[in-house]
């Protein structure tokens, strides 16, 4: 077997809060969304670059408090972009991790965490200021 895509399913409880967090703040876009009929929970796919997530209001889809670990490039720049938006519910710190990454974690309104990581490069990341904001 060879996997082509791995798509985490994250449980959400409030459609509008999900849009505020994932679309407006993190900069994902909605690929599609589905309701079985009017006034039923949403199941949707969002993406940012190569990151795909499924967000579900359906009971039993995903567990609140899940974590998604993302390796990529441009993590420090993305971190700065997010802080510059001054989102009042989340101000993640930038860290140099024990596993050799530049990293920051965002907590969604439903208890899920997304951890963005880039391999630490001494030359590229020498002028970064690492800090934590709570």
Contact present, 119 and 72 (Cβ < 8 Å): no
Is residue 77 very low, low, confident or very high in pLDDT (cuts 50, 70, 90)?
Answer: very high
Containing H/E element for 54? strand 51-56
Write the DSSP symbol of residue 112: -
Average pLDDT over residues 84-96: 95
Its pTM stands at 0.92
Of residues 134 and 29, the one with the higher pLDDT is 29
The reported pLDDT for the residue numbered 127 is 81
Q: Residue 133: is its pLDDT beyond 90?
A: no
């Amino acid at each position: 077997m060879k996997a082509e895509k791995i798509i985490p399913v994250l449980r959400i409880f409030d459609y509008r809060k999900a849009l505020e967090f994932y679309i407006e703040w993190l900069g994902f876009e909605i690929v599609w969304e589905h309701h079985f009929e009017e006034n039923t929970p949403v199941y949707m796919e969002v993406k940012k670059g190569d990151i795909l997530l499924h967000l579900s209001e359906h009971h039993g889809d995903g567990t609140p408090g899940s974590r998604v670990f993302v390796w990529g490039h441009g993590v420090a720049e993305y971190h700065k972009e997010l802080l510059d938006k001054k989102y009042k519910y989340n101000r993640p710190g930038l860290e140099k991790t024990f596993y050799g990454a530049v990293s920051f974690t965002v907590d969604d309104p439903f208890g899920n965490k997304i951890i963005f990581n880039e391999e630490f490069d001494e030359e590229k990341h020498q002028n970064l200021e690492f800090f934590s904001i709570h």
